[in-house]
């Protein structure tokens, strides 16, 4: 979860200056989280976008708890949480009814009468803009500030728009409706958790408020809500209706219900300061907390830390790290008993502590050590031996390897939740993909400089009998191919050659043969190919991988021209090729010899030339001009002639 | 009548060597290094149970990764998924082999996410798993260091950062100094940072060892793995993940 932190806003949480942004980023990267982006702002601020790891989204995606993290890794002191005491009047507090305690862990409300909704003061607007939020009014801005401080979503309702006395947390009824704050109508299926007054829903719990009890400039009396909802329930509702909000994202990551009250106290304190009048009255907080968060004590021994990390850390150093993390701890006979702050829901087991100690200690400070001698003799994988031996043999036969797509429209094994209709199943064979590949590569045959397309793939297919590894060959003879036109004759020679080289017997009848306009496809289950593995993988021995970088092909059509030239038998064809290359220039993408013919003291060489531009479709005229230049140059040579 | 020279050309055209897919070039390099380091090659199925793909790997039932939007389920088969990572091999191997061991596995994995230049629903990964009596994070660091040096050259350095994968703890992200611009600043592979990301690693979670029938008090281990497409794309400057399964020789024949 990427969170943009304003360096300046973050600094307000500290008693002392933070390290310079550059050092600060290095520190976070090494000990806590990846930094996705650093942007220097005109006003001397720096926005540091941090990719909070999923197991820390419940705390570190907010300013105050991120500041605590920074304190742990930098040793800088965070300011204590400010006192948020307010005077309570004897006005009637709201009534709460939680009908689904599975979906709601804690629910708090507090009523404030006689407030003035208006623009926020500059300091608050400034902070919100700095952290990428849009100021709306003092009440909404205060809830936003609280969210970004403590990671706790809160909400304000207009108290006068609420029908009846009681606010309930309940399941929506089927076909019940709500119009959200941004005017979108949502029709409930019935599984969603909602907040409702005695007549109808006023919010989708943990996801979005409704416009029924929206706070506007005319609002004078409000009910503030701070609550904790079940992550799975919020996620399902959010996904179901396609509404993702700052609030739903927080709840999905399971935040501590202990935050609920702290956040509400800060919110109320802010509202009184920002929107209070001489007549403002505040009710008691009504706090329903059905699922109390238990304190978790975790043990870790100094030995365990050292045994897992491969270091030699002392109990004194571990104690120091735990103190910096603000983890309560007691050390007794080599073992630490640790209680993490309530917001650190991720600290549940010994290895969680080992990880905390390891990352604060610094993974880069851990010495690399070779794996100790092991009583293990690796076995040769028969499957990989067969695959790699087949690959090498087919390469020698001039076949090139492709991969075709594993998901298709139809197949024996279907996907319950496909990405698209044409990707609804796993392929049951490679034939479909090979037909497309043969057609594509046959079209490009000249560009590729081939007279024959020869493809192979070794990969998984999925039939009613289960998952199988198949190997497929695809052959298509081009117009310039000089052998027998029937691809099956060629296949027979390939199978014969594979059998003699691999010492196996591939029977054509064990595979599936398909022929057509597209050429030929032969596919066979590799379990039919019995190759006895050797002690090592021959294909890996001294393997030299390709160097170089990929050049994207042009998306414009290519144009072909043939040229046949008689040159004296004692002149090398390289001389002719050099001339063609020079005159053709950079638009010549491929050139290959397809015919040689000798007559008396002369030899005729026939070349196919393929022209293509990266910028445009070449016209006949442009290519004609190039050919004319080549021909003119040939014409200048004594004893050379165009056939 | 054709001359002898013609037969020579015909022969050349037929017997010209074919090309390996760039993914194969890269995995062969990876496997050469790993087998030389004493790793065994093993395989696991692409269609697997939720148990091997999630539960055994300490991914809880309500984890967002198990959501319909991230995982493909097989129709008509209960609790059966297209594996979302090759890590389903971990507990499968533990069940049938007594430690100590060092294994490597690789192949296709599937994720239910929209496809673009950098994301493919069908992608490729490789991973290693080492379990022994006293395997430490220090051993993990040494092994990744040797692996990356053998693969990309002696000048490669690595750095470890905190990371999160449910089946390891501590969890790590490993960056290596850029093999293209040699850790200098400013090439397309490292996007000017000098570091290439993409190796996930960590100490095998005790719950995973338990799922494999091993006692975590007796055995410890590490795993590391990487996006095989990503490494291939970075190494050869291939701009689009979708090219991998395009069946197009304009890709293959460049390698």
CA separation, residue A136 to residues A110, A253, A619 (Å): 21, 26, 60
pLDDT at A445 over 80: yes
Question: Are A398 and B45 in contact (CB < 8 Å)?
Answer: no
- Sorting pLDDT into bands at 50, 70 and 90, what band is B10? very low
Q: Which residues contact B152 (CB under 8 A, 6 or more apart)?
A: B176, B179
- Is the CB of residue B95 less than 8 Å from the CB of residue B213? yes
Residue B4's SS3 state is helix
Distance of alpha carbon A293 from alpha carbon A260, whole angstroms: 12
* pLDDT of the residue at B12: 43
* pLDDT of the residue at B7: 40
pLDDT at A229 over 50: yes
Distance of alpha carbon B19 from alpha carbon B35, whole angstroms: 23
pLDDT at B9 over 60: no
pLDDT at B68 over 80: no
* pLDDT of the residue at A122: 95
Question: Are A53 and B163 in contact (CB < 8 Å)?
Answer: yes
* pLDDT of the residue at B70: 86
Q: Phi and psi (nearest 5°) for A595?
A: -155, 140
- A434: chain B residues, CB-CB within 8 Å: 247
Q: Is B218 on the interface with A (CB under 8 A)?
A: no
Distance of alpha carbon B251 from alpha carbon A200, whole angstroms: 60
Give me the torsion for CA of A82, A88, A92, A95, rounded to 10°.
Answer: 20
| Least Cα separation, residue A170 to chain B (angstroms) | 22
Q: Is B115 on the interface with A (CB under 8 A)?
A: yes
pLDDT tens digits for range A545-593: 998 889 888 899 999 999 999 888 888 888 888 888 888 888 998 888 8
* pLDDT of the residue at B6: 40
Residue B157 per-residue DSSP state: -
Q: Which two tokens stand for residue A273?
A: 């300061």
| Least Cα separation, residue B92 to chain A (angstroms) | 15
Predicted structure pTM score: 0.90
| Least Cα separation, residue A322 to chain B (angstroms) | 16
Distance of alpha carbon B251 from alpha carbon B247, whole angstroms: 8
- Residue A10, judged by CB atoms within 10 A of its CB (0-12, 13-18, 19+), counts as buried
- Is the CB of residue A137 less than 8 Å from the CB of residue A181? no
Question: Are B248 and A437 in contact (CB < 8 Å)?
Answer: yes
Burial A335-373 (b: 16+ CB within 10 A, else e): ebebebbbbbbbbebbbbbbbbbbbbbebeebebeebee
Mean pLDDT of chain A: 93
The partner residues of A329 in beta bridges, in order of sequence, read A338
pLDDT at B13 over 70: no
Supply the DSSP string of A126-194, one letter for each residue. HHHHHTT-----HHHHHHHHHHHHHS--EEEEEGGG--SSEEEEEEPPTT-EEEBTTS-EEE--S-SEE
Q: Which two tokens stand for residue A11?
A: 């600094």
pLDDT at A346 over 90: yes
pLDDT tens digits for range A232-259: 999 999 999 999 999 999 999 899 999 9
Question: Are A417 and B112 in contact (CB < 8 Å)?
Answer: yes
Mean pLDDT of chain B: 89
Residue A245's SS3 state is coil
| Least Cα separation, residue A73 to chain B (angstroms) | 13
pLDDT tens digits for range A95-153: 999 998 899 999 999 999 999 999 999 999 998 998 889 999 999 999 999 999 999 99
Q: Which two tokens stand for residue B219?
A: 């055995």
Q: Which residue of A has its CA nearest to B236?
A: A549
Rounded mean pLDDT, A154-181? 95
Strand (E) or helix (H) holding A435:
helix A431-443
Alpha helices in B37-168 (DSSP H): 50-53, 89-96, 137-152
pLDDT tens digits for range B179-236: 888 766 678 778 778 888 889 999 999 999 999 999 999 999 999 999 999 999 988 9
Give me the torsion for CA of A131, A134, A139, A142, rounded to 10°.
Answer: 0
* pLDDT of the residue at A348: 95
- Is the CB of residue A304 less than 8 Å from the CB of residue A351? no
Rounded mean pLDDT, A325-344? 96
Question: Are A546 and B75 in contact (CB < 8 Å)?
Answer: no
Distance of alpha carbon A253 from alpha carbon A251, whole angstroms: 5
């Amino acid at each position: 979860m990427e969170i943009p932190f304003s360096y300046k806003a973050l600094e307000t949480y500290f008693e002392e200056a933070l390290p310079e942004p550059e050092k600060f980023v290095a520190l976070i990267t090494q000990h806590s989280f990846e930094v996705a982006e650093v942007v220097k702002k005109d006003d001397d601020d720096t926005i540091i976008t941090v990719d909070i790891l999923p197991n820390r989204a419940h705390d570190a995606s907010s300013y105050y708890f991120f500041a605590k993290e920074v304190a742990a890794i930098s040793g800088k002191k965070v300011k204590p949480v400010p006192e948020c005491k307010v005077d309570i009047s004897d006005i009637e507090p709201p009534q709460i009814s939680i009908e689904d305690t599975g979906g709601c862990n804690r629910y708090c409300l507090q009523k404030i009468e006689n407030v003035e909704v208006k623009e926020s003061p500059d300091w608050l607007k400034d902070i919100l803009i700095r952290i990428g939020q849009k100021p709306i009014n003092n009440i909404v801005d205060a809830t936003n500030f609280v969210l970004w401080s403590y990671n706790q979503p809160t909400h304000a309702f207009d108290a006068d728009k609420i029908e009846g006395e009681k606010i309930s947390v309940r399941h929506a009824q089927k076909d019940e409706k709500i119009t959200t704050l941004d005017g979108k109508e949502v029709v409930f299926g019935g599984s969603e958790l909602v907040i409702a007054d005695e007549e109808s829903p006023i919010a989708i719990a943990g996801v979005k408020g409704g416009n029924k009890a929206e706070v506007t400039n005319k609002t004078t009396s409000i009910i503030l809500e701070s609550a904790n909802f079940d992550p799975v329930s919020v996620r399902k509702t959010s996904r179901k209706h396609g509404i993702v909000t700052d609030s739903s994202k927080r709840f999905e990551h399971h935040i501590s219900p202990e935050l609920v009250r702290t956040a509400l106290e800060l919110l109320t304190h802010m509202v009184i300061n920002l929107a209070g009048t001489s007549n403002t009255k505040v009710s008691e907080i009504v706090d329903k907390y059905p699922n109390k968060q238990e304190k978790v004590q975790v043990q870790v021994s100094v030995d365990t830390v050292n045994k897992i990390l491969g270091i030699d850390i002392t109990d004194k150093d571990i104690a120091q790290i735990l103190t910096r993390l603000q983890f309560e701890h007691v050390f007794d006979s080599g073992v630490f008993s640790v209680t993490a702050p309530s917001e650190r829901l991720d600290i549940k087991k010994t290895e969680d502590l080992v990880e905390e100690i390891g990352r604060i200690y610094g993974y880069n400070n851990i010495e690399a050590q070779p794996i100790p001698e092991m009583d293990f003799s690796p076995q040769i994988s028969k499957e990989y031996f067969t695959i790699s031996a087949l690959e090498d043999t087919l390469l020698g036969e001039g076949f090139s390897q492709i991969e075709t797509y594993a998901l298709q429209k139809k197949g024996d094994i279907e996907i319950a939740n496909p990405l698209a209709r044409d990707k609804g199943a796993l392929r049951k064979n490679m034939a479909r993909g090979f037909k497309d590949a043969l057609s594509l590569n046959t079209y490009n045959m000249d560009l590729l400089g081939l007279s024959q397309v020869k493809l192979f793939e070794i990969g998984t297919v999925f039939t009613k009998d289960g998952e199988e590894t198949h190997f497929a060959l695809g052959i298509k003879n081009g117009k310039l191919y000089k052998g027998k036109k029937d691809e099956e004759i060629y296949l027979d020679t390939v199978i014969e050659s594979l059998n003699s080289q691999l010492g196996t017997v591939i029977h054509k009848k064990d595979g599936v043969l398909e022929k057509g306009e597209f050429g030929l496809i032969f596919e066979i289950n590799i379990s039919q190919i019995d190759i006895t593995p050797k002690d090592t993988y021959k294909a890996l021995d001294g393997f030299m991988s390709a160097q170089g970088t990929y050049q994207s092909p042009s998306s414009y059509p290519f144009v072909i021209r043939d040229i046949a030239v008689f040159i004296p038998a004692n002149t090398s064809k390289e001389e002719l090729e050099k001339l063609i290359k020079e005159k053709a220039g950079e638009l010549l993408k491929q050139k290959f010899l397809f015919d040689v013919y000798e007559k008396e003291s002369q030899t005729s060489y026939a070349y196919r030339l393929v022209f293509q531009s990266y910028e445009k479709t070449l016209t006949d005229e442009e290519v004609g001009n190039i050919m004319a230049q080549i021909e003119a140059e040939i014409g200048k040579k004594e004893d050379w002639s165009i056939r | 009548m054709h001359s002898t020279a013609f037969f020579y050309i015909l022969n050349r055209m037929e017997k010209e060597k074919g090309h390996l897919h760039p993914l194969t070039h890269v995995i062969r390099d990876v496997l050469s290094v790993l087998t030389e380091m004493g790793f065994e090659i093993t395989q696991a199925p692409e269609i697997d149970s939720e148990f091997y793909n999630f539960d055994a790997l300490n991914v809880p039932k309500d984890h967002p990764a198990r959501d319909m939007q991230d995982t493909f389920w097989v129709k008509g088969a209960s609790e059966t998924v297209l594996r979302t990572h090759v890590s389903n091999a971990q507990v499968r191997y533990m069940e049938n082999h007594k430690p100590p061991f060092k294994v490597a596995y690789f192949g296709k994995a599937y994720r239910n996410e929209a496809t673009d230049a950098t994301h493919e629903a069908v992608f490729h990964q490789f991973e290693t798993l080492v379990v022994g009596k006293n395997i430490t994070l220090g051993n993990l660091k040494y092994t990744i260091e040797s692996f990356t040096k053998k693969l990309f050259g002696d000048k490669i350095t690595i750095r470890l950062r905190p990371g999160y994968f449910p089946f390891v703890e501590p969890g790590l992200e490993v960056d290596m100094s850029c093999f293209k611009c040699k850790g200098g600043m400013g090439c397309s592979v490292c996007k000017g940072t000098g570091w290439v990301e993409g190796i996930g690693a960590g100490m095998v979670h005790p719950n995973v060892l338990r799922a494999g029938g091993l006692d975590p008090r007796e055995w410890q281990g590490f795993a590391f793995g990487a996006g095989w497409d990503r490494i291939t794309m970075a190494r050869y400057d291939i701009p689009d993940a979708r090219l991998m399964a395009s069946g197009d020789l304009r890709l293959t024949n460049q390698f």
